[in-house]
Amino acid sequence: MKALKISIVVALVLLSVQGWSGDYNNLFAVFPVGPVHLSLNGLISALEGAGVLEVFHAVLGILLLAVSVLIVILSLRTGVKSLSIPSILGLAAMASAVAGGLLFVFSGFTNNGFSAQMGGSFIGAYAFFFIELYFTRGL
């Protein structure tokens, strides 16, 4: 149970940093201009043309997805539904945020709907992991 609580707190701290870097990028980033090819090479090329904070934001998103998977695994091992359900919903929200981020990059940084998907999914993940942390009290 201790590993689960620590993982949730780590996720919440990383989500806070992710939110701040996302706000900064949304307000101040200068994204590369031009099409982005729908491939791993296209993604890498687009990120090479971006700034350090934009790349940090992308890498942190992948790390958060991995931490979310860990939280689901640890939650399912407890056998407690009040922990498992918010962890699965948190993972789904994180997957939606990562998908929105990838689609935003592949749109050539022009489809703001995908950017909004990142932000909305971030809020969902944050909420679900806080709910799960609340339910760990007393266990």
Query: For the chain, what is the domain count?
Result: 1
Pairwise CA distance, residues 39 & 136, whole Å: 41
Question: What angle (nearest 5°) sits at the alpha carbon of residue 118, between those of residues 86 and 43?
Answer: 120
Pairwise CA distance, residues 66 & 32, whole Å: 27
Average pLDDT across each block of 10 residues of the chain; the chain has 139 residues. List them in order.
96 97 89 79 77 90 97 96 96 97 90 95 97 91
What radius of gyration do the chain's Cα atoms show?
16
Domain span holding position 18 = 2-135
pLDDT in the model for residue 91: 98
Pairwise CA distance, residues 78 & 73, whole Å: 9
- CA neighbor of 104 nearest in space, from 51, 60, 58: 58
Identify whether the C-beta of residue 103 lies closer than 8 Å to the C-beta of residue 26: no
